[in-house]
Amino acid sequence: MRVLVIGSGGREHALCRSLKLDPQVSEVLCAPGNPGIERYAAVYPVDPLDPGQVAELATRLRVDLVVVGPEAPLVAGVSDAVREAGIACFGPSREAAMIEGSKAFAKEIMKAADVPTARARACTTEEEAAAALDEFGAPYVVKDDGLAAGKGVVVTHDREQALAHALTCDRVVIEEYLDGPEVSLFALCDGSTAVPLQLAQDFKRLHDGDGGPNTGGMGAYTPLPWAPEGLTEQVMREVVHPTIAELSRRGLPYQGVLYVGLALTSKGPKVVEFNARFGDPETQVLLDRLETPLGGLLMACATGELGPDPVFKQGSAVAVVIAAQNYPVAPVKGDVITGPQGTEHAYVLHAGTKWADDDVVSDGGRVLNVVGNGPDKESARQAAYDLVGRIKLRGSHYRTDIAR
């Protein structure tokens, strides 16, 4: 099986690495890729947001499966174009991807499917926004309706700041604040059925101790030894199955991964957000632990033939994000990165890098993901941070408390 991965970040690097380990996969190709991915896959230039270009590339390369990494190509209709070209695709259609592309649509689906989530109002005027803020009270949660790369959500006690954010968006969802730890559960879906991966946790805030602004994610780990018994089964029953059934009922069969972001509140798990793709950096740790060969699993989703639940290896994985100076505001790019690519129990995944002559340089906010593994969380954490400490990138920073 020849597999083409679309994307250029740490998640795609992890996908290519795991696909390469699947004996059923004869070749991994990636577009547009990055310097780290080139160790596993031939890379090709492409505009990932141009469905015609991606379908044409997949046809020319004679691939059997296309795996779409990020959300923007999904919302642009890349999966639809690939399937129309007669090639299997892992990733929901443009319309089904609106579960991530529009927070208001996601809320509508959850309401119809009776999925536990925060009460919410979609607002388009200042009056509506102000009324919703007062209805739910502080802390205020204000979400840009559309895609915003993890930066469209403001959670604050300051009503003025909440309203100001609402006014910068065409349409906002204002909702009730959900208290409690957050966890991520990814379900692989084949259009009619779904199977879970294991639970992971992401660290969204910039600074240690969950301070600073929200980011795309500063680190992750899996599994979660403290998670309540039966949580995965409960979320599959109360969230995943009803959601994909509701989408099917609307003529939008869901093929790909449904990312469920949850808050474990005192009243049970509630959905904070859905995404239509693998989470980043949770995928990096999940794939480290996945034992079931990835290519076969993703192909089964694309062809409606999902089998039993995927199997995970014992032990833990921890990912630490090395971010560029000034991330997330205005990340500095173009600085040379040096240091080892791996140790016995840790390795580097490239998230925002490019070649500059013979050097690899920073080219994004989240530059590298360092993944460590071991028999338990503490050893995985140690392995990751030992390698992090050996990588040099001027002005870079990282959280020191991932998985602590």
Nearer to ligand AMP, 118 or 299 (CB): 118
For the chain, first and last CA: distance in Å?
Answer: 40
Query: Which 190-209 positions form the footprint of ligand AMP (CB under 6 A)?
Result: 204
User: Taking the CA atoms of the chain, what radius of gyration do you get in angstroms?
Assistant: 20
Instruction: Please name which of 158, 122, 153 lies closest in space to residue 139, comparing C-alpha atoms.
Output: 158
With CB under 5 to 8 Å by kind, the binding choice for 182 among ligand AMP, ligand GLY, none is ligand AMP
Smaller CB distance to ligand GLY: residue 176 or 282? 282
By CB under 6 A, what part of segment 113-152 binds ligand AMP? 118, 141, 143, 150
The item of ligand GLY, ligand AMP, none sharing an interface with residue 393, based on CB under 5 to 8 Å by kind, is: none
Choose among ligand AMP, ligand GLY, none what residue 282 binds, the Cβ cut-off being 5 to 8 Å by kind.
Answer: ligand GLY
User: Cα angle vertex 66, ends 317, 259, to 5°?
Assistant: 45
| Nearest by Cα to 70 from 8, 150, 17, 20 | 8
Residue 222 sits in the site that holds ligand GLY (CB under 6 A): no
Q: Is 279 in the site for ligand GLY (CB under 6 A)?
A: yes
Closest by CA to 66, choosing from 49, 54, 84, 75, is 54
Q: Tell which one of 22, 80, 176, 282 touches ligand GLY (CB under 6 A).
A: 282
> Applying CB under 6 A, which part among 54-62, 272-280, 312-320, 334-342 lies near ligand GLY?
272-280
CA distances from 162 to 13, 61, 216, 344, 401 (A): 36, 48, 20, 47, 29
Considering the complex, state which of residue 204 and residue 350 has its C-beta at the smaller distance from ligand AMP: 204
Min dist. Cβ of residue 100 to ligand GLY (A) = 9
Find all residues with CB under 8 Å of 333, minimum gap 6, and list them.
324, 352, 361, 362, 363, 364
Q: What are the residues facing 259 on neighbouring strands? A: 186, 275
Instruction: Indicate which single residue of 32, 139, 146, 150 sits in contact with ligand GLY (rule: CB under 6 A).
Output: 150
**What whole-number distance in Å separates Cα of residue 326 and Cα of residue 40?**
30
- CB nearer to ligand AMP: give 175 or 335: 175
Site map 151..190 versus ligand GLY, x via CB under 6 A: ----------------------------------------
* Interface pattern 188-217 for ligand GLY (x via CB under 6 A): --------------x--------------x
Considering beta carbons, is residue 34 or 275 the nearer one to ligand GLY?
A: 275
Choose between 150 and 253: whose C-beta lies nearer to ligand GLY. Answer: 150
The answer to whether residue 280 forms part of the interface with ligand GLY (CB under 6 A) is: yes
State the residues that interact with ligand AMP by CB under 6 A: 118, 141, 143, 150, 153, 155, 175, 177-178, 182, 204, 214, 261, 272-273
State the residues that interact with ligand GLY by CB under 6 A: 150, 202, 217, 275, 279-280, 282
